[in-house]
Amino acid sequence: MLGWSALAVGLLIWLGWPMDAHAMRIKEVAAVQGVRSNQLTGFGLVVGLDGTGDQTAQMPYTSQGMTNYLQQLGMTLPADAKMQMKNVAAVLVTAQLPAFARPGQMIDVTVSSMGNAKSLRGGTLITTPLKGADGEIYALAQGNLLVGGAGASGGGSKVQINHLSAGRIPAGAQVERSVPTPFALGDSIELGLNSADFQTARRVAQAINDRMGAGVASAVDGRVVRLRAPANPDERVNFLAEIEEIPLEATVPVAKVVINTRTGSIVMNQAVTLGPCAVAHGNLSVSISSTPVVSQPNPLSQGQTVTAEKTDIKITQDTGALIKMDAAPQLADLVRMLNGLGATPQDLLAILQAIKAAGAMNAELEVI
């Protein structure tokens, strides 16, 4: 049977195997700077719930929000009016305004309960302004929620599938204001690499100059490549569309081993190599057993029966032989030798850190 160590480390081959050198395009490693999405958020109310809304006594902002909404509709409630709104829930509505979005376009929104509502299933979001970081309204959201969960309760028992306090409205917001972008301004465009790497920046600039002509692209630093772009908007779009499809030879990434100490996951890329070293690994187990013991007094002694426990502690340590690990210039060799140790993923975390500390691994360890 395949052990956890073989399964976890064997997965590294699939995750770290190098891609085809000609399968990468510039659009996979870089994006136009300034062309990005913007986060929108707003406070709203979901109505039409089947008694699963907020409890008004604990959530005063729900009744306040409904009062403000009714006032906008021309309805004024008495000051001493007490509203029971089990069918209403206060929510936060979030969305992403994509680049080049124009008024009238529809975007998806996410609705999340901010109170103690039991479920948003079957609810309807009433008109909610969505604002950006500058406080301006960029979209209006409204619509029926789609909640993927389900639940039922009764007699003190409760059954729930998935999450009921959040939902989504596809095409639930209409864009009201566009965000200007520097795409059509100036005589140059900057490409921002997804990760800072001088070798990648140089290869991107060289590939663009080979296709579009010398002097079109220049690497500013390890993150930015500047392009001389046409002034005409239509020509500029065609210019960038052609650049994004230029094939780029894959670069060898920085050797890195990513370790997740919470789950025991280990991921390493194809640049990780190992020098000659020796590793001794042994398992230590502690077993504790408890046996109840009853102590009874002698007859006519007027004593009391006492219950106690007898605890036995046993420590077992398996022998660990010193295993020689030869130099591994390829990822497959490194994975095969780590599997040969017979260690669990949690043990491999400590082994890899020790190998790195001994100077036998030329990789950066990142713990997440």
Q: Tokens for 221?
A: 């630093």
Q: What secondary structure letter does DSSP report for 216?
A: S
Number of residues written out for the chain: 368
For residues 338 and 248, which has the higher predicted lDDT (pLDDT)?
Answer: 248
The residue with greater pLDDT, 238 or 307, is 238
- HSE, side-chain direction, 13 A CA sphere, residue 287: 4
Residue the block writes with tokens 């920046």: 201
pTM over 0.75: no
- Residue-by-residue DSSP string for 51-111: S-S--TTT-HHHHHHHHHHHHHTT----TT-----TT-EEEEEEEEE-TT--TT-EEEEEE
Measured in whole angstroms, the distance separating CA 240 from the mean position of its chain's CA atoms is 30
Question: Over pLDDT 90: what percentage of the chain?
Answer: 24
Query: What pLDDT is recorded for position 287?
Result: 58
The number of C-alpha atoms within 13 Å of 244 and in the hemisphere containing its C-beta is: 11
Q: How far apart are CA 142 and CA 172, in angstroms?
A: 6
3.30.310, 3.30.43, 3.30.1360, 1.10.3470: which CATH number matches 24-35+181-248? 3.30.1360
Domain boundaries, the chain: 1-18+252-368, 24-35+181-248, 38-175
What tokens does 154 get? 């009764």
Helix, strand, or coil here: 357? helix
Q: For position 7, what pLDDT does the model report?
A: 39
CA 135, 138, 139, 140 dihedral sign is positive
pLDDT tens per residue across span 127-171? 999 999 999 999 999 999 998 766 555 555 556 666 788 999 999
Other beta carbons within 10 angstroms of residue 342's beta carbon come to 14
Place 365 in a pLDDT band, splitting at 50, 70 and 90: confident
Mean pLDDT confidence for 302-331: 68
Percent of the chain surpassing pLDDT 70: 77
Burial of 292 (0-12, 13-18, 19+ CB in 10 A): exposed
The per-residue pLDDT for 9 is: 42
**Cβ pair 196, 222 in contact under 8 A:** yes
Average confidence (pLDDT) over 211-215: 89
pLDDT in tens, 27-77: 888 888 888 889 999 999 999 998 888 876 667 778 788 878 888 888 887
185: left (phi over 0), alpha (psi -120 to 50) or beta: beta
Region 335-345: mean pLDDT is 71
Q: Which residue has the tokens 């130099």?
A: 327
CA dihedral 198, 201, 203, 206 (to 10 degrees): -120
The 3-state DSSP class for residue 211 equals: helix
pLDDT tens sequence across 253-280: 778 888 887 777 788 888 888 788 877 7
The pLDDT of residue 60 is 78
Handedness of CA 208, 214, 215, 216 (dihedral sign): negative
